[in-house]
Amino acid sequence: MGARPVFHLLTGEWPPAIGGVGDYSQLLAEALITRGCCVHVWCPTVQDSCSPGVQLHRLPDHFGANSRDMLGRAFQTTPGTVLVQYVPNAMGLRGLNVPFCLWLLRIGRRGADIRVMFHEPFFYFERFRLLRNGLAVAQRAMAAALLRASAVVYVSTDTWRAYLSPYGGRGREVIALAIPSTIPVVSDAGATTRWRAAFTGGDPLARIVGHFGTFGDHVAGELTSAVPALLNAHPHAVFVCLGRGSGRFARYLRETCPDLAARIRGTGALSRSELSTALPACDVLVQPYPDGVTTRRTSVMAGLSHGIATVTTTGRLTEPLWAARAGVALAPASDANAIARRTVYLLANDAARRALAARGHALYGSSFSLERTVEALLNGVARAA
C-alpha cells in the first residue's frame, strides 16, 4: 500500500469567514480527507477546526515573510503537493503580493510540487483609472510567475485559459475544474413542502421563481430589470430571494415595484441545510449574470446540483459547453424580456421544465461536481508520482 497523498492547501479564506473561496477550500479539504489524504490547510484567518481530520495552521501574517519561512519549513518536513487557491486580492499586500508569487516560483524550480488553482487571474484594465491599471499590470506579472512555478495549472473556468496564455506556462498542463455547489443536498420533503407553503401563501395556482446568491450590485442590476418583466408576464408567479442579502434586496424590489410587492419574498440568510430544503421549493431558478454564466458560478451550481430547472444568461465569459450541453435555459445577458419569456415558458410547461431539470442535474454530476474535482487532483498527483 502506498503512502497517503499529502496536500498543503494555501488559501486566503477559511470558514467561518464569509467567502466563496473559503467555502470551496473547506469542501475540497474534507473531500480529500475522505479519500485517505493528509491535508494541511494554511491560512491567515483560520480559527478552530470545523472539519474533522483537516490540520489547520494559522499563518503569522498574510503570506508575508514570516509565513513564507513557516511554509518553507513545513514543506521540507512534510513533503507533498502544494495547492494554492489563488485570488490575487486574497493573498495579501492589497492584491500586490509579488514576493509571495516569486517565492513559489523559486521553490517550484527547486522541485516542490506547486499547483495553482486560478479562481481569478487578475484585474481588468479600465479607462482613466491609472492606479487600478498599475495593479492590473502587476497582477499579470504575478500570474506569469505562478504559471512558471506550477507543475499543473487549474482554472475555475476554461475562459481563464485564454486570459492566462499570453503570460507563460508553456508546456504546463492546464485543467479546467468547475467550482461545485457549496450547498450539500439535504433530502427533507417535509421541510421543502413547508417552504413552498410559506412562499405561495397557500395559493394552489402560484408558481415559484427563485434566485440564489449574495445579491451583489452587478447581479442585482440584472434582477431589477428581469423580475418585474417576468412577474408582469405571469400573473401567478411569485419571486423568492434566497441567500445572504436576500432580505435587503427583496425590500428594495418591493419599494421599487409597489404594485408587485405582494409577490416578492426574501428569506434572509439561511444555513446550508435550510437552503438545501428551500431551493427545491422553487419551480424555476433565474440566475442572470452580466458577464454570462460560467463554471465558477457556485450560485448556478446550487440549483443544478438540486435538480432545479434554471434560466441563466450568456455573456463574454460564458463557455461553449453551456449551449452544447443544454442543461440550462439561456438568454442574452441584460435582456430582461428574454429572461422573462424563457421563465414563463418553463412555468407553463411541466414536461419541458422537468426535462431541463434532469439535464441540468446530469450535467452537474458529470462535469461540475466535487467528486470530479477530487478525481482530477488525485489522478494528477498519481501521474506525477
pLDDT tens for residues 309-355? 999 999 999 999 999 999 999 999 999 999 999 999 999 999 999 99
Write the pLDDT tens digit of every residue in 46-83: 776 667 889 999 999 999 999 999 999 999 999 999 99
Task: Tell me what percent of the residues of the chain surpass a pLDDT of 90.
Answer: 88
Helical residues (DSSP H) of 40-129, grouped into ranges: 65-77, 98-109
Write the pLDDT tens digit of every residue in 209-222: 999 999 999 999 99
190 in Cβ contact with 169 (< 8 Å): no
Q: What is the pLDDT of residue 48?
A: 65
81 in Cβ contact with 8 (< 8 Å): yes
pLDDT at 111 over 50: yes
Mean pLDDT over 1-14 rounds to: 88
Report how far residue 173's alpha carbon sits from residue 187's, in angstroms, rounded to the nearest whole number. Answer: 38
Mean pLDDT over 30-46 rounds to: 94
Pairing of strands 207-212, 173-176: unpaired
282 in Cβ contact with 256 (< 8 Å): no
Report how far residue 150's alpha carbon sits from residue 243's, in angstroms, rounded to the nearest whole number. Answer: 35
Report how far residue 219's alpha carbon sits from residue 235's, in angstroms, rounded to the nearest whole number. Answer: 24
Maximum C-alpha span of the chain: 67
Whose cell is 474534507? That residue is 30
Sign of CA dihedral 29, 30, 36, 40: positive
385 in Cβ contact with 378 (< 8 Å): no
DSSP 3-state of 225: helix
Q: Domains of the chain, with CATH numbers?
A: 6-178+369-384 (3.40.50.2000), 189-368 (3.40.50.2000)
Q: What is the pLDDT of residue 1?
A: 46
160, 164, 162: which is closest to 147 by C-alpha?
164
pLDDT band of residue 104 (cuts 50, 70, 90) is very high
Whose cell is 521553490? That residue is 107
Among 2-6, 70-74, 193-197, 371-375, where is mean pLDDT lowest? 2-6
Beta bridge partners of 279: none
Write the pLDDT tens digit of every residue in 277-314: 999 999 999 999 999 999 999 999 999 999 999 999 99
Write the pLDDT tens digit of every residue in 146-174: 999 999 999 999 999 999 999 986 777 89
pLDDT at 2 over 70: no
Report how far residue 48's alpha carbon sits from residue 58's, in angstroms, rounded to the nearest whole number. Answer: 10
pLDDT at 87 over 80: yes
pLDDT at 98 over 60: yes
Pairing of strands 38-43, 6-11: parallel
pLDDT at 128 over 80: no
346 in Cβ contact with 359 (< 8 Å): no
Beta bridge partners of 241: 211, 266
Pairing of strands 55-58, 264-266: unpaired
358 in Cβ contact with 321 (< 8 Å): no
369 in Cβ contact with 180 (< 8 Å): yes
